[in-house]
Amino acid sequence: MNIKEFAQDFIDSVKTSAEIVEKDYDLELASAILEYITDSGEVNAPELCYFQKTRSRITAYDFNDEAESLDLFYLIKADTLIGKINNGKIEGGFNYLQSFYREAINDSLLRGKNISITEEISEVITLIKSTVGQISQLRLYVMTDGLTDPVFALPTVEQEEWGITIEFNVWDMQRIYQQDNLRRGKEKIEIDFQINYNTKIPCLKMNEEGSPFVDAYLAIIPGDILAKIYKRYQQTLLEKNVRTFLQFKGKVNKGIRRTIQKEPEMFFSYNNGISTTASEITIKSEGRSLFITHLYNWQIVNGGQTTASLAATLSESDLTKVFVPMKVSVINSKENEDEIVKKISTYANSQTSIRNSDYSANEKYLTDLENFSRKEWVPNGTNTPIHKWYFERTRGQYFDQLAQLNGYDEKRFRIEYPKHQKITKTDLAKYEVAWNQCPSNVCKGAEKNYELFISEISKEKPTISSLYYKELIAKCILFNEIDECVKSRNLGGHKSKMNAYILSSISFLSGTKLDLLYIWNNQKIQEEIHNKITELIDPVWNILTEGLKNSGDWAKDTECWNKLKKELEHIEKIPNHLLQTDEPEVPPFRNPAQAELIEKANSFSPEFWFTLAEWAKSNNLLTPLERKQAFNRGQMRGRSKLIEKLDIAQEAIRIIEKAREAGFDK
C-alpha cells in the first residue's frame, strides 16, 4: 500500500468512525492522528480540547509531570487528499499555540466578543497556570492530514520569560504512514551513521570462532548521536525491550542528568551502556580498526532508560563529550531471530533489579482481560448481540488489527468493536484504582497511576473471570456517565480529578456493593445513581478547591480523600435495592475437574454455537435435538448467560466432540 492509498483508507476510516459515534469530523481526525503520535511513544495520553479565536488556537493537550513537559497540539486540514501544507501555515500553527499558552497565563483568552470556553479548555487553562515554574519544556505539535516540506524544521528555543525550552514538532501524513508501517513491522529501523549522522562507530568483533547464530560487537556510540536517533524513532527503537512498559524512576534519571551536566567525560565509566540487536551490519576497515557504518532492523533491548535520558537532555546539554558503551548482537539465524532477540532482551534485563513478575504476572492479567473482551458480547435485549467492548492489551492494538482488514471484514470489525467501546490499560487502571477508593493515585496522572496499579497486580495475581470483566466494563460505563455529568456543569477545570473522586465516592457510599451486573446487563446506570452523581458534584468540588491555590496537588494528597470521606458520612448512602443482593451462589462442584469442565463449556462464543448448529443442519448431521441444543447454547451466550449445571456442561461438550468427529473444524 503506497502513501496515497493509505491516506485514502485513513480518511475513510475517520469519516466512518465520526458517523458511528456522532462526533465532529475535525475532532475525530485529530483523535486518529493523536493515536499514532501516542503509539510512537512521544506523548502519554493527549486529550482533545478545541478552541479557536483570531490569534490563539488549540486542538489537544498532554501533560507529563515526570518529564516536566506540557504538550499542545493544533490541527491543520489539507484541502485535498495528501495536499501540500506550506511552511507559512505550519509556522502559523505554532504561533497559535504559543499565543494560546501566553494568553492562558495572562488570563486574556476570554477577552473579545462572543468568546466562550468548554469544560476541557477551562481545564487546560487551569493546568497551564498551575504548572508555571514546574515544567521545563513546552512541546508544540502541528498535526495535519496533508504533506509538509520534509526538510522544514524549527530549532528548539529558550524562553527566558517562562523559564522553559520550546520544542516544535510536525506530524504529517508521511510521518503517520511511516509510523503505521513501523507499527505493523513493515518498516525496520535502518541507521546509516555516515550519511545521516556524519560519523562512524568504532567497534571490536568479539566472536571470530563463536556462535553461528550471532555475531557480537563491542562499540562506543557518541551520546549526541544516540539521543538524536532516539528523538527520531522514539519508542519504536525500544520495541523489543521487555522493560519499556515500566516507568523510568526519577532517581536514576536525575543521576544520569547530573553526570551529563557536571561530569560528561565520566559517563562512559559510570554507565553500564546499552545492549542492542540488528539483522544486518556493515563494517568498514581502516588499517587495524573496525567501524560500524550501517545497521538494519536495529533495536535497543536493554538501556532504554539511558537512551531516553540522553534524549531528554539533548536540548539543554552538550552531549559531544558523552560516550556510551554499546553491545551489538547481529542475528544471523533468520528462522530463530525473534526467539534469540527475546532471550537477549530478557536475560539482559534480568541482571538488573527487574522482577520476574514484571514479565509473567502482569502479562497474564492483561492477556486474560483481552481474551474475555474478545468473547463477551454486550447484552442488547435480543437474541442476536452485535457489539463487544475492546480491551487494548498493547498500545495501538485496536488500530493494528483494523489496519489488517479490508472491505466487509473491516466493516464488520467496526460494528463488532465500536471505537467508543475501546478501553486502554491506563483506562483500566483509572477505573479500578478509583473504585478501590484511591482517587489521589488517579490524580497523579495516567502513566503514574498505571505504574502503581500494575505493581499491585503483580503482587496479588488476581484471577480474572467473566464476572470480573463485566464489572470492569460496568465501572467504565459508570465513569463515562460521571464524566458527562461533570462536563455539563461547566465548573471551570479539574474534570478528570472530579471524575476520579466521584467514582470513589460512589464506591464508598455503596460499600463497594453497587449492582455492577445491572449496569453490564443494561449498558447504562440506574436513574437513581445518575441523581446521586449529580448530588455529589458540589461537595466534591468544594473539597477539591476550597482555600487552595493548586487543587491539582491537593487532589494527589490522600488527605484530600480523607477529608471528603468525612463529608460523605453526612450524605445518604446508596439504597439497598441498588446494591448486589446475596453473593452469587457457588455450584456444588465435587472436584476441580468438574469446575474446569463447566468453565470450558462456557468458553465458546455465540458465533461458535450458531455456526455449529448451521453446519449440522446443512450437512444433515447430529440429531434435531442436538442441533436445537447447540442453537440454544448460542442464544444463552448471546445473552451473557453461563452454564451452571454440570450435566448441561457435559452435554454441551459431548455435542462439540461429536460434531468434530463428524468433520466440524471450527
Does 536 fall in a domain?
Answer: yes
Q: What is the pLDDT of residues 77-104, one digit of tens each?
A: 999 999 999 999 999 999 999 999 999 9
Q: Are residues 205 and 325 in the same domain?
A: yes
584 within domain boundaries: no
Same domain, 538 and 624: no
Residue 481 lies in a domain: yes
pLDDT attached to residue 357:
29
Number of domains into which the chain is organized? 4
Given 179, 199, 219, which residue is the final one in a domain?
179
> Do residues 574 and 599 both lie within one domain?
no
| 43 domain residue, yes or no | yes
In this prediction, residue 596 carries a pLDDT of 79
Q: What is the pLDDT of residues 127-170, one digit of tens each?
A: 898 888 888 889 999 999 999 987 787 887 888 888 898 999 99
Strands 323-331 and 274-278 come out as parallel
DSSP 523: T
Instruction: Classify 229 as helix, strand or coil.
Output: helix
Higher pLDDT, 256 or 435: 435
Q: What would the pLDDT profile of 382-414 be if each residue is shown by its tens digit?
A: 666 789 999 998 766 787 677 667 778 888 888
Residues 6+ apart with CB under 8 A from 556: 440, 443, 444
634 and 551 in a single domain? The answer is: no
Same-domain pairing of 444 and 536: yes
Q: Which has more confidence, 657 or 250?
A: 657
pLDDT of residue 393: 84
Last residue of a domain, one of 158, 179, 200: 179
Interval 308-352: pLDDT, tens: 888 878 877 889 999 999 999 998 877 676 677 766 766 665 544
Cα–Cα distance measured from residue 442 to residue 497, given in angstroms and rounded to the nearest whole number: 8
Question: What letters, b where the CB count within 10 A reaches 16 and e where it falls short, cover 169-208?
Answer: bbbbbbbbbbbbbbbeeeebbebebeeebeebbebeeeee
pLDDT of 587 strictly over 70: no
Query: For residue 153, is it within any domain?
Result: yes
Q: Does residue 653 have a pLDDT over 60?
A: yes
Closest by Cα among 46, 70, 68 to 59: 46
- What's residue 141's pLDDT? 97
Closest CA to 282 of 274, 270, 290: 290
Local structure of residue 514 (DSSP, 8 states): B
Contact 164, 136 (CB under 8 A): yes
The model's pTM is 0.55
Q: Check whether residue 161 and residue 225 sit in a common domain.
A: no
Domain end: 353, 384, 405, which one? 353
Q: Do 558 and 617 sit in the same domain of this protein?
A: no
Judge whether 298 lies within some domain: yes
Range of the domain at 600: 592-661
**Residues 388, 302 within the same domain:** no
118, 237: one domain: no
Distance CA 557, CA 551 (A): 10
Whether residues 14 and 86 share a domain: the answer is yes
Q: What is the pLDDT of residue 610?
A: 86
In a domain, 586, yes or no: no
- Asked if the structure places residue 585 within a domain, the reply is no
Neighbouring-strand partners of residue 281: 295
Q: What is the per-residue pLDDT across 485-533, written as a single tens digit (0 to 9) for each?
A: 998 887 766 788 999 999 999 999 999 999 999 999 999 999 999 999 9
Q: Is the dihedral of CA 515, 520, 522, 523 positive or negative?
A: positive
Domain check: are 318 and 373 in the same one? no
Q: CA-to-CA distance for 132 and 107, rounded, in angstroms?
A: 13
- The reply to whether 174 and 192 lie within a common domain is no
pLDDT of residue 358: 37
Whether the CB-CB separation of 468 and 513 falls below 8 Å is answered with no
